[in-house]
Amino acid sequence: MDVTVEVAGEGTHELTVGGDATYADLVAQLDLSPHEVSVVVDDRTVPTDQPVDADHVRVVRLIKGG
């Protein structure tokens, strides 16, 4: 499945994931931890352990820097 991922304030990425991928798998492809982001689909936050079922996702980083 092809998914457009918008990382808020950082840009957009076109990713491909398998049919059994979760949103955590999607976030991992961006070198982000599911613990440092919220995943938003259709203006609603979704759990990162949920299977990917959308072709456009917005990722909001909750933690940035060190």
User: Within the chain, which residues score under 50 in pLDDT?
Assistant: none
Q: Can you give the pLDDT at residue 65?
A: 64
- pTM value? 0.89
Please give the CATH number for the structural domain made up of 2-61: 3.10.20.30
Q: Can you give the pLDDT at residue 22?
A: 97
Q: Can you give the pLDDT at residue 59?
A: 98
Beta strand 56-61 pairing with 2-7: parallel
| Alpha helices in the chain, H assignment, sequence order | 23-28
Q: List, in order, residues 6 or more apart from 4 with CB less than 8 Å away.
A: 12, 13, 14, 15, 55, 56, 57
Closest CA to 50 of 28, 30, 20: 20
The three-state secondary structure class of 58 is strand
- Side-chain-side CA neighbours of residue 40 (13 Å): 13
